[in-house]
Structure 1
Amino acid sequence: MNRKYFFRNSALALTGTVLSGNLLGQTPPTQIRRATGGTKNIIFMVSDGMSTGTLNMADLLMQRKYGRRSSWLRLYDEQRAVRALMDTASASSLVTDSAAGSSSWGGGVRVPNGKLNVGANGEHYMPILQKFKAAGKAVGCVTTVPIGHATPAGFCINNDSRGDMDEISRQYLDLRFDVMLGGGADNFKATTRKDKTDLLQQYQKKGYTVVTSRDALLRQPVTGAPLLGVFHDGALPYALDREHDTALQQQTPTLAEMTQKAIEKLNTYPNGFVMQVEGGKVDWGAHANDAAAMLYDQIAFDETIKAVVDFAEKDGKTLVIITTDHGNANPGLFYSNEANRNFDRLHQFKHTNDWLLNGINKNFTVAQVLERMEAAQGFALKKEDAALLLKNYAQLDEAGVYNSGHLPFKTLAALQQSYTSIGWGSMEHSGDYVELAMFGPGKELLKPFVKNTDLHQLMLQATGVIAG
Structure 2
Amino acid sequence: MIRRDFLKTGALSALGTSLLSATKPLEQLLVSNKNLVGEAKNIIFLVSDGMSSSTLTMANLVSQRMNGRESKWISLYRDRSITRSLMDTASANSMVTDSAASSSAWGGGKRVNNGSLNVNADGSFNTPILQKFKHAGKKVGCVTTVPITHATPAGFCIANKSRSKQEEIALQYLPLKFDVMMGGGDKYFNSAKRADKKNVYAQFTEAGYHVVKNKSQLSAFKGRQPLLGVFAADALPYTVDYTHDKELQNQVPTLAEMTENAITLMKEHPEGFVLQVEGGKVDWAAHSNDSPGLLFDQLEFDLAVEKAIAFAEQDKNTLVIITTDHGNGNPAIFGEDNVDQKFDLLQKFKHSNDWVLNRIQNSMSASQLIELINDAQGYAISNMQAENLLSHYEKLDGGGLYNVRKLPFELFGKIQAEYTAIHWASMEHSSDYVELAAYGPGSQLINPVLRNTELHQIMLQAAGLPA
Secondary structure class of the residue paired with 1:86 = strand
1:121 aligns with 2:93: no
For 2:372 and 2:244, how far apart are their aligned partners in 1?
Answer: 15
Judge conservation of contact 2:399–2:409 (CA < 8 Å) in 1: no
1:461 aligns with 2:453: no
5 Å-filtered alignment, 1:66-85, equals 66-85=67-86
Partner of 1:100: 101
Partner of 2:271: 271
For 2:458 and 2:343, how far apart are their aligned partners in 1?
Answer: 39
Taking only the aligned residue pairs, the percentage that are identical comes to 55
1:396 aligns with 2:388: no
For 1:220 and 1:336, how far apart are their aligned partners in 2?
Answer: 52
- State the one-letter code of the partner of 2:324: T
Secondary structure class of the residue paired with 2:310 = helix
Partner of 1:19: none
1:348 aligns with 2:345: no
5 Å-filtered alignment, 1:249-268, equals 249-268=249-268
Task: Give CA deviations for 1:128-175 in whole Å, capped at 9, x if unaligned.
Answer: 000000101100000000000000000000000000000001100000
Secondary structure class of the residue paired with 2:274 = strand
Judge conservation of contact 1:37–1:461 (CA < 8 Å) in 2: no
Unaligned residue ranges in structure 2 (runs of 5+): 1-36
5 Å-filtered alignment, 1:30-429, equals 38-221=39-222, 223-429=223-429
Judge conservation of contact 1:343–1:422 (CA < 8 Å) in 2: yes
Partner of 1:31: none
Task: Give CA deviations for 1:205-234 in whole Å, capped at 9, x if unaligned.
Answer: 01101000011101211x220000000001
Corresponding residue pairs, total: 431
Q: CA offset at residue 399 of structure 1? A: 2.2
Q: CA offset at residue 391 of structure 1? A: 1.1
For 2:368 and 2:268, how far apart are their aligned partners in 1?
Answer: 54
For 1:360 and 1:385, how far apart are their aligned partners in 2?
Answer: 14
Q: CA offset at residue 400 of structure 1? A: 1.6
Change (3 A) 1:37 1:137: farther
For 1:332 and 1:314, how far apart are their aligned partners in 2?
Answer: 36
- State the one-letter code of the partner of 1:415: I
For 1:399 and 1:379, how far apart are their aligned partners in 2?
Answer: 24
- State the one-letter code of the partner of 1:279: G
Unaligned residue ranges in structure 1 (runs of 5+): 1-35
Judge conservation of contact 1:49–1:325 (CA < 8 Å) in 2: yes
Q: CA offset at residue 336 of structure 1? A: 2.4
Secondary structure class of the residue paired with 1:42 = strand
Secondary structure class of the residue paired with 1:429 = coil
For 1:219 and 1:300, how far apart are their aligned partners in 2?
Answer: 23
Q: CA offset at residue 37 of structure 1? A: 5.5
Task: Give CA deviations for 1:26-53 in whole Å, capped at 9, x if unaligned.
Answer: xxxxxxxxxx961100000000000000
Aligned alpha-carbon RMSD (Å): 0.9
For 2:108 and 2:208, how far apart are their aligned partners in 1?
Answer: 28
- State the one-letter code of the partner of 1:292: P
Q: CA offset at residue 382 of structure 1? A: 1.1
Q: CA offset at residue 326 of structure 1? A: 0.2
For 1:339 and 1:218, how far apart are their aligned partners in 2?
Answer: 43
- State the one-letter code of the partner of 2:202: Q
For 2:380 and 2:237, how far apart are their aligned partners in 1?
Answer: 24
Judge conservation of contact 2:239–2:293 (CA < 8 Å) in 1: yes
Q: CA offset at residue 410 of structure 1? A: 0.5
- State the one-letter code of the partner of 1:190: S
Q: CA offset at residue 380 of structure 1? A: 1.2
Secondary structure class of the residue paired with 2:182 = strand
For 2:234 and 2:253, how far apart are their aligned partners in 1?
Answer: 14
Judge conservation of contact 2:189–2:199 (CA < 8 Å) in 1: yes
1:437 aligns with 2:437: yes
For 2:438 and 2:219, how far apart are their aligned partners in 1?
Answer: 29
Q: CA offset at residue 121 of structure 1? A: 1.1
Judge conservation of contact 2:144–2:255 (CA < 8 Å) in 1: yes
Task: Give CA deviations for 1:371-412 in whole Å, capped at 9, x if unaligned.
Answer: 110110011101111111111111111122000000000001
For 1:187 and 1:323, how far apart are their aligned partners in 2?
Answer: 27
Partner of 2:25: none
Using the size of structure 1 for normalisation, the TM-score is: 0.91
Secondary structure class of the residue paired with 2:392 = helix
Judge conservation of contact 2:38–2:441 (CA < 8 Å) in 1: no
Judge conservation of contact 1:37–1:465 (CA < 8 Å) in 2: no
Segments ≥4 residues shifted beyond 4 Å: none
Judge conservation of contact 1:336–1:421 (CA < 8 Å) in 2: no
* More displaced 10-residue stretch of structure 1: 72-81 or 328-337: 328-337
For 1:312 and 1:218, how far apart are their aligned partners in 2?
Answer: 22
For 1:392 and 1:383, how far apart are their aligned partners in 2?
Answer: 15
- State the one-letter code of the partner of 2:170: S
Judge conservation of contact 1:356–1:372 (CA < 8 Å) in 2: yes
- State the one-letter code of the partner of 2:144: T
